[in-house]
Amino acid sequence: MSLTKISWADRVWNPLLGCTRVSDGCDSCYAISTVHRWAHSPNPTVAAAFGGLTEHRDGRLDWTGRVNLLPGRLEPLGVRKPQRWFVNSQADLFHEQVPLSHIQQVLAVVAAAPRHTFMVLTKRHARMAAVMRRRGLARAVWDIAADTRGAHPAADGWPLRNLWLGVSVEDQRWADIRIPALLDTPAAVRWISAEPLLAPIDLRPYLAAATGTETQPGLGRVAGHQPQLDWIVAGGESGPHARAMNPAWVRAVRDQALSTGTPFWFKQWGAWAPTGRHASTLSPRNTRELLAGPPLDAHGNREVIEHLGTTRAGDLLDGRIWQQLPVLGERSPAR
């Protein structure tokens, strides 16, 4: 069950379940319907794990605000082959209902499995920064790791080299709120997921200087040790009520990444994608087509995007797949 279709991860690990909406990026959260469906599983163990987390309220399915802790889920320890694990695809590790003791247990599994890479994504930027900077956290995590079943900690290091911490940023407002907190958080790799990308975002203040300055994940500029983003993931929204992503927005994010040598991963277009057609009129032909971006030529032609569905829309951006990953101690050259 831990295998995933998320392109940038090999597996998902959910040591807790449940969440709460906090910003516009949560409006079409796929996890709510997934959790609701599993809560009605005929398997009583599965139903209990997912139970009580969703409810119908104000005309839509939503979270109840409850979080179910699942400390017995230790799947990464039993997988020998190195994998990229997305931690909590159906929850937020730094949700206010998650006790510090459980966060420490999760981090202890990360410490006990250095062969794996663990990718955490949160919208609770403030709590993430506070917890990860907490005095005594490293000692507590390594003590738990030493007692964890199947644990073989290799070193008493901090921050954990196999833990990538990231924040979700759907627009400029949340980028300017969440990214500074992320950059103030100890991490081997700091990354963002601009998905769903709902508006243009200028990430240049948070990226390495475009002058060719060499940087290393977790350190930022080597000369000044000023943290910078190490990885950028972007994509559009999926689902029946998906909002359209303007192709110009994601191209701008890609170009900002490439100009600074920051690895870039385009996950998907989502439900809406360019069709390859242009139109000079400002009015869409029907409700399943939109006109996006600035004029493409002197005649005012604009790009047409269409509601294709996630599978048909795919993950090609300007004719190619963008799947770059950060490597500790390295930075891709600016292109």
Distance CA 198, CA 195 (A): 8
* Residue 220: per-residue pLDDT: 44
Cβ neighbours of residue 193 closer than 8 Å, sequence gap 6 or more: 121, 166, 167, 168, 169, 233, 234, 235, 267
Distance CA 23, CA 119 (A): 21
Closest CA to 14 of 98, 80, 100, 124: 98
User: The tokens 């972007």 sit on which residue?
Assistant: 234
* Residue 101: per-residue pLDDT: 97
Are the C-beta atoms of residues 110 and 160 closer than 8 Å to each other?
yes
* Residue 174: per-residue pLDDT: 98
Three-state SS sequence of 229-253: CCEEEEECCCCCCCCCCCHHHHHHH
* Residue 147: per-residue pLDDT: 83
Distance CA 308, CA 316 (A): 14
Name the DSSP letter for residue 124. -
Q: Which residues of the chain have pLDDT under 70?
A: 1, 149-156, 209-225, 280-289, 293-300, 329-335
* Residue 328: per-residue pLDDT: 73
Distance CA 328, CA 218 (A): 8
Q: What is the CA radius of gyration of the chain?
A: 21
Name the DSSP letter for residue 43. S
The torsion angles phi and psi of 255, rounded to 5 degrees, stand at -65, -35
